[in-house]
Amino acid sequence: MSLMRQYKFEIGCLVALVLAFTMTQMGLNRFVFFAGFAVLQYAMIATAWNILGGYAGYINFGTAGFLGIGSYTAIALINYSDASIVEQIIAGGVVAGLLGLGIGYFTLRLKGVYFAIATLALAIVVETIVNNWDFVGGAAGVSILPARNPELLGVLVVHKKLGVFSNYKEFLFFLMAALTIMSVWIARTIEKGKLGRGLNAIKDNEEAAECMGVPTLKLKLITTTISGGLMGMAGAVFPSYLTFVDPPTAFNLEFAVNSLAMPMIGGTFTWLGPILGAVLLGTVQQVAIVTISSELNLLILGLLLVIFVIAAPHGFLGWFMKKNKR
Amino acid sequence: MSEVLLNIENVTKTFGGFTALSKVSAAVKKGERFGLIGPNGSGKTTLINCISGMLQNNGGSIIFDGKDLKGLQPHQRTKRGIARTFQIPRPFHSMTVIQNLQIPLEFVSSSGTSQKNISEEAMSILEVMSMEDKAHHETSGLTQIELRKLELARAIAVKPKLLVSDEAMAGLTGNEVDEVLEILVKLNEDGMTIIMIEHIMRAVMQFSHRIICLDAGQKIADGLPEVIVKDPAVERAYLGV
Ligand SMILES: Nc1ncnc2c1ncn2[C@@H]1O[C@H](COP(=O)(O)OP(=O)(O)O)[C@@H](O)[C@H]1O
Ligand SMILES: [Mg+2]
């Protein structure tokens, strides 16, 4: 019984995973998985962003760069080999994680707005490189043909009748759910542990943290690596999901804005915040795109962000907890 | 009592063309209560920053416990036993008072022990500071003296060999100054070496075994408190003549 209480969160993760799997087996409309994938991917990106931005207070404007490099690592692998999607995800995570490590290393002396600008610059640099790299499609973009009837470890994954999933959208939805759950678990483990407490000290006052024995550089490097790596993994699934990728899509500014707006609106101090923000904003945006226009989408996002920053600076969760305390 | 714990040798620090410290030397002995005085802008905090590693000195060397500190990051110096307070308190503002102490406990002095042990340790430090009733308060609601005491408590939580207190008493009333003094004397009696930077002459004179005085980045006096008060150079520096 106490074991169950101790692993309550992990059990919750498993239940969520089973739920996601069950959804794929119910023959639901494809749009559910299409939209569901988008929301899940945003939840994962927002969670990854929040590990650095929320816990450590380092604002990353370069989300698109990490996502994009994940996507293009997957594309390069697809062009170069017959790597499975799982291998693409791992590769995307490793490359983006290394990029995160590098960015962490070269910008470690930059604080506040300077760090944010550096990450924005990074996204632009990566996009420029990809734009001029014909092997992955260059500026014209590239079409991806998902492998027909793919197998993983000898199991037929996608097949109309015989596969675990009857179509690709369902499979990718499940994959994204698994990745998102993994990211949330990682974020929460960090938050509840020594690393999270060290990052919080850094956020509050980096110099005081350092003088109180917190190895700030090391913790920041671990964090930029994990955060970047998770973003890269989320990006690596993108080509298979979109089947056509070009730089404006993979490096879309909307990712940068959303990855920051979602945690801020949900609440940056805990793992639940980014999820809440992703579900809220993700849904609002999906509806807005369908009912109003995709151009107004960013405007709505911007307005919501401004409203929250002014009215509820600790996000929805912060506002909610404060209200309940009274 | 005679063994040197901290040896500052010809330490120089420049900011661009400005020399904030010029060949400052001093030796702090184990168990000593060491006073550091000097007018505003004389380089006291800069010297502390060089000792704690927040600044790297351009010249000279700082030897602590027999080892040169050159190139060590602040957190590495903290692990070797140097703790400091900040002139303007820098609490971890998103944490409660007790959580503030848990950071140095978890990362330095009680590293690797259980969370329960760490919070017990933190509580016992708060008791020494008579702040146990504030343990679970946010730092934003603390008064000036409470903030100063938290700053000290957090440094004590490092369980340092050397505690450097940078104007821990600025802005406190007479009674509050006595309260902090009492705590520092107690810590010293338990074996901690303490460098006290202070503007309040009464406090630093009463506290220190020995005092040095900085003026415009140079050491102008070094001696017993009763000698320092009568030193004409110190008088000149303070009166600005
Ligand atoms: N980071 C810095 N950059 C430039 N000048 C500095 C810096 N830190 C301190 N100074 C200058 O060095 C001198 C000594 O400052 P400080 O050590 O803070 O004096 P004190 O603590 O004795 O009042 C002052 O003139 C101050 O302006
Ligand atoms: Mg000072």
Contacts of A208 in chain B (CB under 8 A): 86, 90-92
Is residue A146 within 8 A of residue A168, CB to CB? The reply is: yes
- Domain assignment of residue A312, yes or no: no
- Domain assignment of residue A278, yes or no: no
Q: Return the residue matching tokens 């520096």.
A: B237
- Domain assignment of residue A150, yes or no: yes
Residue A6 touches chain B, beta carbons under 8 Å:
no
pLDDT of residue A286: 77
pLDDT of residue A325: 66
Query: What string of pLDDT tens digits covers the 326 residues of chain A?
Result: 677 888 899 999 999 999 998 898 887 888 888 888 999 999 999 999 999 999 999 999 999 999 999 999 999 998 888 888 999 999 999 999 999 999 888 887 787 788 888 888 988 898 899 888 888 888 888 888 777 777 777 777 777 777 788 888 889 999 999 999 999 999 999 999 999 999 999 999 999 999 999 999 999 999 999 999 999 999 999 999 988 988 988 888 888 889 999 999 999 999 999 999 999 888 888 777 777 776 777 788 888 888 888 888 888 888 888 777 65
- Residue range(s) defining the domain that contains residue A62: 2-254
Residue of A nearest to B86 (CA): A208
pLDDT of residue A282: 85
Q: Measured in Å, how far apart are chain B's first and last C-alpha atoms? A: 37
- Domain assignment of residue A208, yes or no: yes
- Domain assignment of residue A176, yes or no: yes
Inter-CA distances, A186 with A85, A196, B37, Å? 21, 11, 49
What CATH number did the domain enclosing A203 receive?
1.10.3470
> Which of B24, B42, B46, B197 has most ligand 1 atoms within 8 Å of its beta carbon, as the pocket-test mutant?
B46
Over the stretch B79-122, which tens digit does the pLDDT of each residue have?
A: 999 999 999 999 999 999 999 999 999 999 888 888 899 999 99
Q: Answer whether B102 sits within 8 Å of A215, measured CB to CB.
A: no
Split into its structural domains, chain B has a count of 1
Question: What six digits make up the tokens of A12?
Answer: 């919750």
Residue A213 touches chain B, beta carbons under 8 Å:
yes
This complex has an ipTM of 0.92
Q: Give me chain B's average pLDDT, please.
A: 92
**How far does the centroid of ligand 2 lie from the alpha carbon of residue A114, in Å?**
27
Q: How many CB atoms lie within 10 A of CB B117?
A: 12
Over the stretch B203-222, which tens digit does the pLDDT of each residue have?
A: 899 999 999 999 999 999 99
Question: What six digits make up the tokens of A19?
Answer: 């739920």
Bridge partners of A55? none
Region of residue B55 (phi > 0: left; psi between -120 and 50: alpha; otherwise: beta): beta
DSSP string, A3-32: HHHHTHHHHHHHHHHHHHHHHHTTT--HHH
- Residue range(s) defining the domain that contains residue B193: 4-239
Split into its structural domains, chain A has a count of 1
Buried/exposed B90-102: b ≥16 CB within 10 Å, e otherwise: bbbebbebbbbbb
- Domain assignment of residue A103, yes or no: yes
Is residue B9 within 8 A of residue B60, CB to CB? The reply is: yes
Q: How many CB atoms lie within 10 A of CB A31?
A: 10
Q: Give the number of residues written for chain B.
A: 241
- Domain assignment of residue A20, yes or no: yes
User: Nearest by CB to A203, which of B75, B83, B94?
Assistant: B94
Element (H, E) at B165: strand B162-166
Q: Answer whether B154 sits within 8 Å of A212, measured CB to CB.
A: yes
Over the stretch B28-68, which tens digit does the pLDDT of each residue have?
A: 999 999 999 999 999 999 999 999 999 999 999 999 999 99
Residue A217 touches chain B, beta carbons under 8 Å:
yes
- Domain assignment of residue A317, yes or no: no
What CATH number did the domain enclosing B42 receive?
3.40.50.300
Output Rg (C-alpha) for chain B, integer angstroms.
Answer: 18
pLDDT of residue B240: 63
Residues in chain B whose Cβ is within 8 Å of chain A: 52, 54, 73-75, 78-79, 83-84, 86, 90-95, 99, 102-104, 106-108, 154, 157-158
